[in-house]
A and B are shown apart, each in its own frame.
Chain A
Amino acid sequence: MDDKDLELLRILEENSRLSAQEIGSMTNLIPAEVEARIHTLEESRIIRKYTTVINWEKAGNGEVSAILELKVSPERDFGYDRIAERLSRFRQVRTLRLITGTYDLQVMVSGKNMQEVSRFVSEHVAPMDRIRETATHIVMKSYKENGNTLFEQQETERLPYSF
C-alpha cells in the first residue's frame, strides 16, 4: 500500500465504474498499472466488492429495512464471533456490527415486505441460543446511505466568470 493505492481506493469508493484509462489520467498512471494495482487490492481483499447505491424508494421497489438491537451472551473462547458469523450468513442481514453500549450486536436487515422481516426476526433471530433480548426498529425513510445523501439538493447559482 502506498499513496497511489490510497488515491485509487478513494476514487473507486466514490465511483467504481471508471475505466482504467480514466483513472490513469487522474492519477498519472498508465492504464496497465491501474489495472495491476486494483488487481492486487482485490487479491488482498482490501477491495471487498463493487456495489451500487440505489434509492429503492424512488425505484418504486421499496424493500422494508429494520435495525435489530441484540443483547447477546458471549461464548467462552469465541466471544461474539460465532454468533455474529452465524447471523451474517443470512441473506436478509445487510450489515452487522459489534458495538459498545446498551446492547451488543447491531444488525441491519431487509426483506421484500414487513411480513418477511418480522418472520425472519421472530423465527430465525430471536430464538437463537445466546440471544437474550431483541429490539426491532423499522426504517421509515432513508436520508443518507454510505455517505450519499438521497434527497435532492438545489443547484446553487454560479457566475459564468469570476477572477
Chain B
Amino acid sequence: MRTFVSDRALQIPPSGIRKFFDLALTMNDVISLGVGEPDFRTPWNICEAGIYSVEQGATSYTSNRGLQSLRDALAAHLASRYQLRYSADNEMIITSGVSEGLDIAIRAIVNPGDEVLIAEPSYVSYAPCVALAGGIPVPVECTEQDHFRLNPDKLQAKITPRTKALIINFPNNPTGAVMKKEDLEPIADIVTDRDLMLLSDEVYSEITYESTHVAAATVKDLWERTITLNGFSKSYAMTGWRVGFLCAPKEICDAALKIHQYVMLCAPVMGQIGALEALRSAEDEKTSMVNEYRLRRNMFVAGLNRIGLSCHVPDGAFYAFPSVKGTGLSDAEFAERLLREQRVAVVPGSVFGSGGEYHLRCAYAVSRKELTEALGRMETFINGL
C-alpha cells in the first residue's frame, strides 16, 4: 500500500514534549509547571450563563461571524480598553479559540513560497500553520539581552523580497515579555516600509503587570496592515470553551471568513454566550486573577534567581523563562532529569524555537503552595548536580 499521509502532514515535526508528557503520566505527585492555561476555574457567572443558554435551547449554529451581541460587546470593549477600533459588522470574526483564528489568518494571506517571519521563542503552532499553508516560516530570534522583545535590526536582517508577513505574540508565551508602545514603533516603521502584513497574537493582553497592554494595531499606521488575534481563554480562564476572535480590515476579514465558514462554520454557541457574559460582568474576577498571578510571579521569579536560575522579570502572561546555562545541562536534559528526579514538570525552552535554548518555560499558573514546593525541589535538584 502506498503512503497516504500527505507530504505536508509528514513535514510537520512531532510535538517537542510528547516524551515528557508520557513520562509524567506514569508518575505520581508531579508538580506541573508545564501547563499553558490558568489554574482558575471559569468565573461562575460565565458558567451559569452557558448552562442557562443550553437550558433555553441555544444549541444551534450562529452566524459565521459569531453572535451579533457578542461582536457588538467586543467592539465596545476593544475600543474602550485598548483604543482598538473594529467594526462589529465586517471587521471581526468569532473563532474557535485563537488557534483557529491563527490558522485562517495565515491561510487568508499566505501564498505558496511566501516567507513568514516569526518572532521566536514563540507559541509552537505558528511555524506549522505557516508550513501547512504552503508558506516558509522564518524565525527572528528575540534574545535575553533584549528582554525577549523583538529587536528591529534583527527583524530587518531577515526580510527578503519574498517576505509577506510577521507574526508576533506579546505578552509572550513562553517568555512573558511585553512590547510597549516605544518598542513597537520601530517595528511598525519596518513593517510599513517593507509592505508586510502583521499578525499579532494578543491572547495574553489582559495579563500584564506593569502597564496596560498596547495593541499593535494602534501603533502608528499598523491598523491597515494588522490582523489582531485574541480570545477569552487566558483572560477569563476559559480555555475549554474555545472562543477567540480575529479582527482585521474588511478585505482581509472577508477572506478569512470564507475559510472560517468552510472549516469551522462557527464557534460553539455556548462558548460565545459565555464570552458575552465575560465581557459584561467578569471584570472583577479577571482583575483578581491577574493580582494573584502578580504575587506568584514576584515570589517565583525571586525564588528562581535565589536558587541560581537567572530569570528576567516577565511583565505579562504567566510564564517565567529562566536560564539553565549555569548548570552545565541543556534545557532538555535539565527538564527530563528534573521530572525524573524531583517530579517537577517544566517545558524545555528549545521547543519554542530559536532563542529558547538553555531556558525553561515554567508556568506559574499553579497555587503558591505548589510554587513554593516546586522551588524547593528545583533547589534540591540543582544542589545535587
Contacts and interface: CB of A to CB of B under 8 A. Distances in A.
The reply to whether chain A is a binding partner of chain B is yes
Given A7-B291, A10-B291, A162 B35 contact: yes
Interface residues of B, number: 28
B72 interface: no
A74 to B, nearest CB: 35
A28 B123 contact: no
A160 B17 CA distance: 11
B35 A160 contact: yes
Nearest to A29: B298
B299 A25 contact: yes
A75 to B, nearest CB: 38
A22 interface: yes
Contact of A161 (B302, B347, B368): B347
A158 B21 CA distance: 12
B159 interface: no
Contacts of B296: 26
B36 A27 contact: no
A contact residues, range = 10 to 19
A11 B295 contact: yes
A143 to B, nearest CB: 13
Contacts of A25: 298-299, 302-303
Interface in B287-310: 288, 291, 295-296, 298-299, 302-303
**Chain A CB within 10 Å, residue with most, of B35, B36, B39, B295:** B295
A163 B123 contact: yes
Given A11-B295, A159-B35, A26 B21 contact: no
Interface stretch (B4-12, B24-32, B57-65): B24-32
Contacts of B299: 22, 25-26
Interface in B160-185: 173
A160 B21 contact: yes
B125 interface: yes
Nearest to B25: A160
Contacts of A11: 295
Contacts, number: 54
B368 A26 contact: yes
**Chain B CB within 10 Å, residue with most, of A7, A27, A158, A161:** A161
A162 B291 contact: no
Contact of B124 (A22, A159, A163): A163
A53 B227 CA distance: 49
Contact of A158 (B17, B37, B298, B303): B37
A156 B239 CA distance: 13
Nearest to A10: B291
Nearest to B339: A160
B41 interface: yes
B197 interface: no
Contacts of B20: 160-161
A161 B123 CA distance: 14
A160 B32 CA distance: 6
B21 A161 contact: yes
A41 B105 CA distance: 52
Nearest to A159: B35
Given A25-B303, A26-B298, A26-B299, A161 B124 contact: no
Contacts of A163: 36, 123-125, 173, 347
23 contacts: A7-B291, A7-B295, A10-B291, A11-B295, A22-B299, A26-B295, A26-B296, A26-B298, A26-B299, A28-B298, A158-B35, A158-B37, A159-B35, A160-B21, A160-B24, A160-B32, A161-B24, A161-B32, A161-B35, A161-B347, A162-B35, A163-B123, A163-B347
Q: Which 10 A/B pairs are nearest by Cβ-Cβ distance? A: A160-B24, A26-B295, A161-B34, A25-B299, A26-B299, A160-B32, A162-B36, A163-B124, A161-B21, A163-B36
Given A25-B303, A163-B36, A163-B124, 5 more contacts: A11-B295, A28-B302, A161-B17, A161-B347, A162-B36
